[in-house]
Structure 1
Amino acid sequence: MIKNKIITALLLAFVLLQSGCSLDEQLYGVSTTDGFIKNEADAAFVVNGVYANFQDFQSFKSSAAGLMLYSGDEFAFTGTVGNNAAGVWINRLFTSSDTYVTGTWTNLFGGINKANSAKEAVDASTLSTAFKTRINGEMTFIRAFSYYYLVRLFGGVPISTQATKPGDNFYKQRASVDSVYQQIFRDFKNTNEKCLPLSKQPATEFGRATKGAAQALLAQAYLTYGNFCDLNGRAADAQINYQQAANWADSVLLSKEYSLISNYADLWDVTKEKAAYKEVIYGLQFTRDAIASAAGSKGSEWAYYTQPSERWGVSGNLLPKGNGHGGLKVQPWFAEQYFTGEYAKDYRSEVTFLTGWSGFTTATTPVAKTYNTFPAIATDASDLVRQSMCYLDKYKDAKGYDQRNNENDYFVIRLAEVYLIKAEALNELGRTAEAYTSFNELRKRARQTNGTARTTPLDLAAGLDKENFRLAVFNERGLELVGEGQRFFDMVRMRYPNTNMTMMQWRLETFYPNLPTTQKALPSWDTATKTWKGGRVYTVNIVPWNVRFLLYPIPNAEFDSNPNIGLQNPGW
């Protein structure tokens, strides 16, 4: 789709939107709020520049998105680890000096300072009260959004609600996780009160914060904070937050502002991307950038990094002809889970996982081949090539301009997830029977497929207890939201049934070590039985459990520049 292009140069013209290693460092401009903004066009110029922060390479274009996408359990990386960030993250080889970790920290804090600066500049203008109120809500949304990602990635962080100016205290201590969440809740609630609902948002402001975006992220944040309280032995606090999560999820659902797209595949059709925002409550927009290229562009890079190198026409990669990178694959056990049992013939699995395609070898002189991957079974043929792992197929853009310059947006939260948030919150409140209704909305949509109704997947089996219903939610989120940056957060916030272990700890400390030896290998095709045999795990990416996998490290650069920052995260 054609989008209003947001260009980084917008920020250069507005010197008060400083950048630096954090809120507490390096001022590249002096705040000049007096009289800068004369009209609404000036304000839009500034506000769009703040939103553009999330398109930066160090943000959701690459660094921040990579920290989330590659640190779950669903993907394997088969390329050369040493020179590729994906391999470093999946193999847990990153350090507190990692440029992507540092870049994410820097970018999110930079976004907070830019939002604070823009908010103060608009507040100081002579524009109408109604307009200033709305911009105030949007900028507090950006601040809350940034802090929400910071607290989940790094734990407690310094808090600032004002633009950094000369003479300020640049050396703030890390606030507690509790304090950061309280700031997040205040800011998102402010957005809810001051921003417009989607149905009243001007077309020129498409993609910016809305009342619904604040409500949906409040639901998710309260659920996540409830999990944090639970994991830290604060059951009463957890219950209060689970109720808040259910309440805010209801705010979204009862507003009728959003609805599930009838065909799940349409969510991932880049030619129908704008229509997807019927379900997508908030997303970060990327666009094919005709001005800049590669890492400096405002395009997305996920089509290239998630597609196979032997498949052409799926990204802007120019050599040979729009193929993918090929290194990022789906762990075989993860893919098999969603093609068997209760997920057998689930339309979402067919849409999400690439298990077969017509393509070309990557030789100097490419040769046409047909490709088949685990767990799908294809009839033997002279041109058939089998591979042991499938690929994520959500991101494709045949019209992309280069490898890192594609159109695919980053969907932060969809209505589908709000249904699962409500189901999970109700279950944690002991209202498991009620939770089934919200959960099964996703199964109902999956049965509609592309218009030809199916009987699968069935509604979730009745009678599950609280612990096993939580596991069912975890598994459902695994399929519905795979490749959307949620899995890592789910693994570090949700508990495995009847234990105090997070899903991350259980996976690395119990699941992988206890697999039979025969399973600790890749599947292989048995020509005699015409089935996939052997193992189900790409073991190169499997590492022993360590508490440090629950949070990323505070960057070394922050300790070097801020003597008051406090302690490093556990295990680092």
Structure 2
Amino acid sequence: MKRTIKKLYPFAIAIALTATACKKEYLETSPTSSIDANEVFTTTDGAMVALNGTIRSMYSSLTNHGNFGQKSYDLVLDLMGEDMVVHKQGYGWLNTDYNYSAPSNANPDQRPDRTWFYYYRIISNANRIIDGLDEAIGSEEDKASIRGQALALRAHSYFYLVNFFGHNSLSGAGVPLYTEPTSEGNPRSSVQEVYNLIFSDLSEAETLLEGKSRIHRSHVDLAVAQGIHARAALQIGNYDAALEYATKAIESSGLSLYTAQQHTAAGFNTLSAPEWLWGLEVIVDQATIFASFYSHIDNREATGGYAALGTQKKITKALYDRIPEGDVRRNLFNGSQNPDLPIYSQVKFQLRQPGNWASDYLLMRLAEMYLIKAEAEARLGNAAQATETLQTLVSTRYPAYNAGAFSGNALLEEILLQRKIELWGEGFGLLDVKRLGNGLNRPTGDGNHGGGDLNSDANAANFAPGELVLPANTNRWLFAIPQDEINANGALTAADQNPQ
């Protein structure tokens, strides 16, 4: 980590802002490069400036058009999963993630290297903010809010790092841990040790954020910290904690599930949408245009992004066919042949206005918490509660739904099906494949992975993903430790490299 820490350590200053977020309705994110570290952390206003810049980095572009902050990694997780199909090769962006050739590439500027850099940059910034707060002039309330948010961002970053670079087994090798600014590299910690830090950070963050209001929905509040806690607990099968924190997040958020009328594309591109616990507001003059989530996900020709140029993202026919008529979520996909939009193309994620790239990035919403709660209840043997939770969620999408028709293992399978449908495209594909322990099983045949595209002539096929079936113990979804990191970090050797 020595190379990375040295590159990252000054970054909290490089993204220091010209004003604090409270002065406008949106986050002020115009970077400057001339503010000294000591000056930034003289006051809590300066620390907030650094926090806002760190949040901005979560939708910034890095090196090429396939790297655009958190949503690029969410998209990778879905492309490496079971339910997202790529229509054609197009310009090729992200296809190496889809066909599993990217994870093993340890060279500079490849997917593992950029993933490592992105998350450790946030961690380094968080550590710098936490370290500088004690001496800053400002109220204790402001210090608590800033520290709580920095801890939650650090936990969030370690969660994704350990899932990209480690197996789901707690005894396996995780990633190096850093809790303070340093230029010295650390060895790999175990997956268990990484999760210990994640939950410790989140518990402290929750205490600090209790009773605190946030000035912008891009900031972390109590409900968001609880939501991250629930997400991480579910990933390692701690269902008691998953249930506890999903329930807390629902209650703390004060939000309500979408009505059927609200469950449209407009509910997935705007920070103020009723279900959003957390998201990133993309300001028009800071939009990364072609190097953006919407460039790679919005399939409409009018958008003019990479998706519209051939790599349209589609739901599998296998999953689409399991969404009943009358379920509003079926309308988030094109279910008919169309010369301008391939059949099964997603229309869930769209720019608010084609040609204007200022549409927001979704990081967490209320439906996820209901699904975590329902799954945890079912796994803990609380069938009646799980049925009630599932009914509450799905009936808002499909009024004729009857969760009471399922019991036993069928109830759990139904919850997992509803999770696939509800959270399609939101970044849970590979996370769920890994935690469920069934291996990768991509549906094949017409309308599915590598099968006929059902939209062109009889010989036209969807882009072939290469890997269709992988065992649960595969190493193929492990990202390689960047070679530059192994070369520069004295605490790592070639033996620490992930197997492929």
TM-score range, shorter chain: 0.7 to 0.9
Give the alignment partner of residue 149 of structure 2, picking from 138, 146, 149. 138
- Matched-pair contact (CA < 8 Å) for 1:280–1:415: yes
Kindly state the Cα deviation for residue 115 of structure 1 after the two structures are TM-superposed.
0.8
Give the alignment partner of residue 194 of structure 1, picking from 198, 208, 214. 208
Any idea what the Cα deviations from partners look like across 1:49-105, whole Å, max 9, x if unmatched? 121221222452664234223211222224437x52321111112123362321121
Task: Check if 1:90 corresponds to 2:98.
Answer: yes
More deviation, 476-485/554-563 = 554-563
Structure 1: tracts of 5 or more residues without a match: 17-31, 227-240, 357-371, 374-384, 448-453, 496-500, 528-533
Aligned equivalent of 1:281: 277
- Matched-pair contact (CA < 8 Å) for 1:260–1:445: yes
Distance in 2 (alpha carbons) for counterparts of 1:271 and 1:521:
29
Task: Check if 1:245 corresponds to 2:245.
Answer: no
Distance in 1 (alpha carbons) for counterparts of 2:131 and 2:449:
58
Give the alignment partner of residue 421 of structure 2, picking from 459, 467, 479. 479
Superposition pairs for residues 457-472 of structure 1, below 5 Å?
458-466=401-409, 468-472=410-414
Aligned equivalent of 1:118: 129
Task: Check if 1:44 corresponds to 2:48.
Answer: yes
Kindly state the Cα deviation for residue 401 of structure 1 after the two structures are TM-superposed.
4.9
Give the alignment partner of residue 345 of structure 1, picking from 304, 326, 347. 326
Q: Which has the larger radius of gyration?
A: 1
Distance in 2 (alpha carbons) for counterparts of 1:563 and 1:179:
20
Distance in 2 (alpha carbons) for counterparts of 1:329 and 1:323:
7
- Matched-pair contact (CA < 8 Å) for 1:316–1:397: no
SS of residue matched to 2:176: coil
Aligned equivalent of 1:260: 257
Aligned equivalent of 1:545: 470
Kindly state the Cα deviation for residue 409 of structure 1 after the two structures are TM-superposed.
2.4
Kindly state the Cα deviation for residue 294 of structure 1 after the two structures are TM-superposed.
3.6
SS of residue matched to 1:411: strand
Any idea what the Cα deviations from partners look like across 1:112-161, whole Å, max 9, x if unmatched? 01111112222211222222122111111111111111111112110011
Query: CA 1:333/1:568 → structure 2, altered by over 3 Å: closer, same or farther?
Result: farther
Aligned amino acid, residue 329 of structure 1: K
Distance in 1 (alpha carbons) for counterparts of 2:373 and 2:185:
40
Identity %: 21
- Matched-pair contact (CA < 8 Å) for 2:269–2:350: no
Aligned amino acid, residue 244 of structure 1: A
TM-score by length of 1: 0.72
- Matched-pair contact (CA < 8 Å) for 1:50–1:111: yes
- Matched-pair contact (CA < 8 Å) for 1:263–1:445: yes
Query: CA 1:335/1:247 → structure 2, altered by over 3 Å: closer, same or farther?
Result: closer
Aligned equivalent of 2:20: none
Distance in 2 (alpha carbons) for counterparts of 1:388 and 1:36:
50
Any idea what the Cα deviations from partners look like across 1:348-393, whole Å, max 9, x if unmatched? 111x21335xxxxxxxxxxxxxxx35xxxxxxxxxxx487632111
Distance in 1 (alpha carbons) for counterparts of 2:464 and 2:367:
33
- Matched-pair contact (CA < 8 Å) for 2:147–2:208: yes
Distance in 2 (alpha carbons) for counterparts of 1:268 and 1:482:
13
Aligned equivalent of 2:199: 185
Any idea what the Cα deviations from partners look like across 1:429-473, whole Å, max 9, x if unmatched? 2223321111122211113xxxxxx53xx223534323x333222
Superposition pairs for residues 91-490 of structure 1, below 5 Å?
91-94=99-102, 95-97=105-107, 99-155=110-166, 156-164=174-182, 168=183, 170-196=184-210, 201-202=213-214, 204-226=215-237, 241-255=238-252, 257-263=254-260, 265-266=262-263, 268-269=265-266, 273-276=270-273, 278-289=274-285, 294=289, 301-308=292-299, 311-312=301-302, 315=303, 324-339=308-323, 343-350=324-331, 352-355=332-335, 372-373=337-338, 385=339, 389-397=343-351, 399=353, 401=355, 406-447=357-398, 454-455=399-400, 458-466=401-409, 468-490=410-432
Kindly state the Cα deviation for residue 422 of structure 1 after the two structures are TM-superposed.
0.9
- Matched-pair contact (CA < 8 Å) for 2:86–2:311: yes
Query: CA 1:146/1:267 → structure 2, altered by over 3 Å: closer, same or farther?
Result: farther
Query: CA 1:132/1:104 → structure 2, altered by over 3 Å: closer, same or farther?
Result: same
Distance in 2 (alpha carbons) for counterparts of 1:305 and 1:552:
22
Query: CA 1:186/1:539 → structure 2, altered by over 3 Å: closer, same or farther?
Result: same
Distance in 2 (alpha carbons) for counterparts of 1:269 and 1:519:
28
Aligned amino acid, residue 215 of structure 1: Q
SS of residue matched to 2:241: helix
SS of residue matched to 1:474: helix
Query: CA 1:571/1:254 → structure 2, altered by over 3 Å: closer, same or farther?
Result: same
Aligned amino acid, residue 393 of structure 1: V
- Matched-pair contact (CA < 8 Å) for 2:87–2:312: yes
Aligned equivalent of 1:229: none
- Matched-pair contact (CA < 8 Å) for 1:261–1:267: no
Query: CA 1:440/1:326 → structure 2, altered by over 3 Å: closer, same or farther?
Result: farther
- Matched-pair contact (CA < 8 Å) for 1:260–1:279: yes
SS of residue matched to 1:540: coil
More deviation, 88-97/426-435 = 426-435
Structure 2: tracts of 5 or more residues without a match: 1-23, 63-67, 167-173
Query: CA 1:161/1:400 → structure 2, altered by over 3 Å: closer, same or farther?
Result: farther
Any idea what the Cα deviations from partners look like across 1:474-527, whole Å, max 9, x if unmatched? 2111111111111221111114xxxxx33x2xx05xx65xx79x9973164899
Q: How many residue pairs were aligned? A: 457
Distance in 2 (alpha carbons) for counterparts of 1:523 and 1:125:
59
Query: CA 1:13/1:181 → structure 2, altered by over 3 Å: closer, same or farther?
Result: farther
Distance in 2 (alpha carbons) for counterparts of 1:136 and 1:63:
26
SS of residue matched to 1:389: coil
Distance in 2 (alpha carbons) for counterparts of 1:462 and 1:207:
39
- Matched-pair contact (CA < 8 Å) for 2:202–2:229: yes
Kindly state the Cα deviation for residue 540 of structure 1 after the two structures are TM-superposed.
1.4
**Cα RMSD between the aligned structures?**
3.3
SS of residue matched to 2:52: helix
Query: CA 1:101/1:192 → structure 2, altered by over 3 Å: closer, same or farther?
Result: same
SS of residue matched to 2:402: coil
SS of residue matched to 1:554: coil
Aligned amino acid, residue 293 of structure 2: W
Distance in 1 (alpha carbons) for counterparts of 2:203 and 2:48:
22
Aligned amino acid, residue 140 of structure 1: L
Aligned amino acid, residue 345 of structure 1: G
- Matched-pair contact (CA < 8 Å) for 1:157–1:176: yes
TM-score by length of 2: 0.81
- Matched-pair contact (CA < 8 Å) for 2:299–2:341: no
- Matched-pair contact (CA < 8 Å) for 1:270–1:397: no
Aligned amino acid, residue 278 of structure 2: Y
Any idea what the Cα deviations from partners look like across 1:5-31, whole Å, max 9, x if unmatched? 443515x34554xxxxxxxxxxxxxxx
Aligned equivalent of 1:7: 29
Distance in 1 (alpha carbons) for counterparts of 2:431 and 2:225:
19
Distance in 2 (alpha carbons) for counterparts of 1:519 and 1:118:
45
